[in-house]
Every structure is written in structure tokens, then in C-alpha cells.
């Protein structure tokens, strides 16, 4: 829910925009009514956002989805529209996003409950994850974007890239169990080197560095 609903490591729950739920429920009903005649349109309630998916909508009818969302935003100024992959989303008009949620989570829960140094890693595959990628350098960590074609991406704030959920699984497994005594930055450097070698030899799963170490660490 774009950081509006945060579950802490101790099981406690922080809801940033609980007061917006009635408006979101109303927006969902209106969207369903206005999109009912459009084949392939899907309305999804994400608790603290409402999504209008148009991936399965015929090209000539997608503008009708856009217009329906515009009408609802005009009627309900307490909500704002954002964009994702083939989806329009209605969110609370609050200054909050995934980046602010990550900062809040680390400062209010993780640093207070963990005696060891914190090295945050954020992994995401959506446009809305860019808000989190942009804050990771300042938090002493990094972001990883998941994309089928990571080397073609030029407008991401992520430091690294992986190509699929399976590569994410391999990365987490390797990062968690390889040389646990080594600093996280050294373990990442080893993964980058290993990924580059594997890519040149057999096109195996590369762990792609999006920026140079100097560029990455200059943000910290």
C-alpha cells in the first residue's frame, strides 16, 4: 500500500492514512461502476490505495479508463492519482510514499530494536519503488531494481539490478550465507564481480551495478 500500512518487526502495525479509508472505499465503488462496461478493466482495493488496471483493456478503450480516473480525482480532492505499470492508482493526498515509509521504519523500529549496525536493502520492480531507491544512499544502504532488461534502464535511482524474482531469491540466499563476517559492501562487490564473470561466460544471472562506487557513495 505504498508505505501507508507498515508492519513492524515486532508485529506491531502503523497505519499512516487510516482516516482516508472511507474515501478510498467510495472511490472503489465509483470506479467499479464507471469501468463495468470496459472489458479487461480491473479495480483493486489495496487497503490504502485503489488501483485501476488496464493491461487487459483494448488499446482503443484505455483512454476511457483514464477519463474515469480523472473524473473521480476531480470529485474527490482528498485523493491523488499516481502511475504504475499499466495501472492508475488513487492514493491519499498526503505527503507520503515508499521512501518516507522506509525512513520511518528504520528510524522508529529497526534502529531502536537492533544493536548491530543497520545496512538496509530495498528491492522493487515498480515505478513507485523509485521513491524508496532515492533515499537508500542517505540511509547507508542501496536499492535493487528488478527488470527483464536491466542494462537498458537509464532513469532509475537504484544502485543495482536483478532480472527476475528467481534472481532475487538467489541474491538473498547468497548475501545471507556467504562470508557473513565480511562488511556488506565487500559482499556486494564480490557479487557484482561474480555476476559480471558469469554473464560473459554463459549469460547466467548477472547482478548488475547501475552506478560506479563513487557515484553511489557520493549520496551518503
Closest CA to 80 of 22, 18, 24: 24
Q: Does the pLDDT at position 59 exceed 90?
A: yes
CA atoms within 13 A on the CB side of 47: 10
The C-alpha cell that represents 205 in the structure block: 544471472
Q: Does the pLDDT at position 92 exceed 60?
A: yes
CA 166 – CA 154 distance, rounded (Å)? 23
How remote is the C-alpha of 117 from its chain's centroid? 24
The predicted pLDDT at position 198 comes to 40
Model confidence pLDDT, tens digit, residues 130-155: 999 999 988 888 899 998 876 667 78
Query: Can you name the residues that pair with 6 across neighbouring β-strands?
Result: 14
Model confidence pLDDT, tens digit, residues 184-211: 667 766 665 554 434 444 444 456 665 5
Model confidence pLDDT, tens digit, residues 24-40: 999 999 999 999 999 99
- Bridge-based pairing state of the strands 121-124 and 5-7: unpaired
Query: Can you name the residues that pair with 142 across neighbouring β-strands?
Result: 121
Model confidence pLDDT, tens digit, residues 98-119: 888 888 888 777 666 677 777 8
Amino acid at each position: 500500500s505504498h508505505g501507508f500500512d507498515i508492519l513492524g518487526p515486532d508485529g506491531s502495525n502503523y497505519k499512516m492514512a487510516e482516516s482516508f479509508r472511507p474515501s478510498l472505499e467510495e472511490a472503489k465503488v465509483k470506479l467499479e461502476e464507471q469501468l463495468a462496461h470496459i472489458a479487461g478493466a480491473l479495480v483493486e482495493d489495496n487497503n490504502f490505495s485503489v488501483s485501476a488496471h488496464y493491461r487487459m483493456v483494448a488499446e482503443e478503450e484505455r483512454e476511457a479508463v483514464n477519463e474515469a480516473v480523472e473524473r473521480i480525482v476531480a470529485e474527490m480532492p482528498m485523493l491523488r492519482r499516481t502511475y504504475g505499470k499499466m495501472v492508475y492508482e488513487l492514493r491519499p493526498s498526503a505527503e507520503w510514499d515508499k521512501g518516507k515509509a522506509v525512513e520511518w521504519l528504520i528510524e522508529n523500529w529497526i534502529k531502536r530494536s537492533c544493536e548491530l549496525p543497520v545496512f538496509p536493502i530495498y528491492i522493487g520492480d515498480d515505478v513507485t519503488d523509485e521513491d524508496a531507491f532515492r533515499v537508500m544512499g542517505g540511509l547507508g544502504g542501496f536499492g535493487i531494481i528488478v527488470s527483464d532488461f536491466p542494462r537498458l534502464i537509464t532513469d532509475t535511482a537504484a544502485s543495482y539490478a536483478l532480472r527476475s524474482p528467481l534472481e532475487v531469491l538467489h541474491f538473498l540466499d547468497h548475501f545471507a550465507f556467504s562470508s557473513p563476517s565480511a562488511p556488506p559492501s565487500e559482499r556486494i562487490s564480490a557479487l557484482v564481480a561474480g555476476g559480471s564473470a558469469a554473464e560473459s561466460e554463459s549469460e547466467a544471472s548477472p547482478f548488475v551495478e547501475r552506478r560506479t562506487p563513487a557515484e553511489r557513495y557520493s549520496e551518503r
